[in-house]
A = this chain, B = another copy of it.
């Protein structure tokens, strides 16, 4: 556990020079820099981040706050952010809010305030005004993913457009009886995915002059299990069965797919299914989906943050950035089997 002083002595310079040489801040002649680096290496010297932070006011650490961790989307975002941060010499301190109200309060009232982090990334979180205020008061750069959070730089996915795209894919194939498996309203807490995506679905239907039938809507909870139950309901009906299902997440879509199989229906011959996310299992199941790219979202959030933390080179990124998405057509969607009445049909 060598300290900066020993390095300085070994290199024959002052501690200030060691600091400059190792951090890259301030000018040091190439020769001394090398001497210092050699000395540091020899002694196995690593700066004490605490001392450094205390003196400089920078921690080289960012807090990432997520509402869940053990779900594909969130762990992927964190994964991407971690890799990006690591490569820039930053640490990632994780705050998981899934514990309930109590932990959530303590995260915002204590943990994030104790100057352990330079900035925070909030993933799919709806922060209260008070929470935002606390963080901004403290003068910490912050970026939200999935927001939007008022007053905070956010990366947002246009969920309405995403859902609309998925639905339009089905419509363009000639489907008219399209069911929607969406988020249950009770789950609409932090991220309004449920209602936003439903809006996109309805917009697409509306623009295509297709009726939106209440009986073709099934709420679920974003899990495979929930999607399975919803799919059974939708596909088990004796008449007027939908020819296609748009599920608001891949996990629910996979549930529908398995429900169809268990009912003896063939996908996509009897029913087309499309989801959202491009979940790690989507390819395996041949699921057509609108991909969002969670790893990249995490990386992008870090880029934006770095732009704020080192205000020199960076373009002053827009306050609100749209995240990319992309329709990925696999084998779960096709034209409906029946003779279709689609006017623009080429047949």
Contact (Cβ within 8 A) B70 A76: yes
Contact (Cβ within 8 A) B79 A284: no
Contact of A72 among B70, B107, B228 (CB under 8 A): B70
Q: Which of A41-100 contact B (CB under 8 A)?
A: 46-51, 53-54, 59, 61, 69-72, 75-76, 78-79, 82-83, 86-87, 89, 91-96, 98-99
Which residues does chain B contribute within 8 Å of A228, judged by CB atoms?
284
Task: Give complex CA distance A106, B228 in Å.
Answer: 44
Given known pairs A79-B96, A92-B93, A94-B92, the reply for A61 and B103 (CB within 8 Å) is no
Which residues does chain B contribute within 8 Å of A319, judged by CB atoms?
none
Given known pairs A46-B113, A48-B54, A224-B281, the reply for A83 and B61 (CB within 8 Å) is no
Nearest B residue (CB) for A91: B93
Assign chain A's interface to a size class. Answer: 35 or more
Contact (Cβ within 8 A) B69 A138: no
Whether A111 sits at the interface, judged by CB under 8 Å, is: yes
Nearest B residue (CB) for A51: B54
Whether A225 sits at the interface, judged by CB under 8 Å, is: yes
Contact (Cβ within 8 A) A103 B87: yes
Contact (Cβ within 8 A) B91 A116: yes
Contact of A83 among B71, B78, B103, B113 (CB under 8 A): B103
Nearest B residue (CB) for A280: B70
Whether A261 sits at the interface, judged by CB under 8 Å, is: yes
Task: Give complex CA distance A46, B134 in Å.
Answer: 12
Nearest B residue (CB) for A57: B50
Q: Could you tell me the distance in whole angstroms from the C-beta of A297 to the nearest C-beta in chain B?
A: 13
Nearest B residue (CB) for A110: B46
Closest 9 CB pairs of A and B: A70-B75, A50-B53, A46-B113, A75-B75, A49-B114, A50-B54, A69-B79, A48-B115, A49-B116
* Sampled A-B contacts (14; CB under 8 Å): A48-B54, A50-B116, A61-B93, A69-B75, A69-B82, A70-B75, A82-B96, A83-B99, A86-B111, A91-B116, A93-B94, A224-B284, A228-B284, A261-B261
